[in-house]
């Protein structure tokens, strides 16, 4: 797991590959907490979507290969 200090967190504004804090509920979406070993394509396949679609839905994901365990993302349901 990547460890970031507060200055780095502020610099990247919202974290890398998700949100470090619980996301608010949103109609039409589940909130998913990224687990160690997860990859976006596997998460997407489990929920019947694509990694690119998850990237589009989650503005903090800038690279589909760079998500952080413990962070939260939205998954369309």
Number of other residues whose CB lies within 10 A of the CB of residue 52: 13
Residues 17-43 have pLDDT tens digits of: 788 889 999 999 999 999 999 999 999
Average confidence (pLDDT) over 45-62? 95
How far is the C-alpha of 31 from the C-alpha of 75, rounded, in Å? 6
Query: How many Å apart are CA 54 and CA 61, to the nearest integer?
Result: 8
Asked if pLDDT for residue 2 goes beyond 50, the answer is no
Q: Give the global pTM.
A: 0.76
Domains of the chain from N-terminus onward: 6-76 (3.10.350.10)
């Amino acid at each position: 797991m990547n460890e970031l200090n507060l200055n780095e967190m502020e610099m990247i504004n919202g974290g890398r590959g998700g949100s470090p804090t619980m996301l608010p509920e949103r109609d039409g979406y589940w909130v998913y907490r990224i687990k160690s070993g997860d990859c976006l394509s596997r998460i997407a396949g489990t929920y019947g979507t694509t990694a690119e679609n998850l990237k589009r839905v989650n503005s903090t994901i800038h690279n589909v290969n760079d998500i952080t365990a413990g962070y939260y993302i939205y998954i369309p349901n």
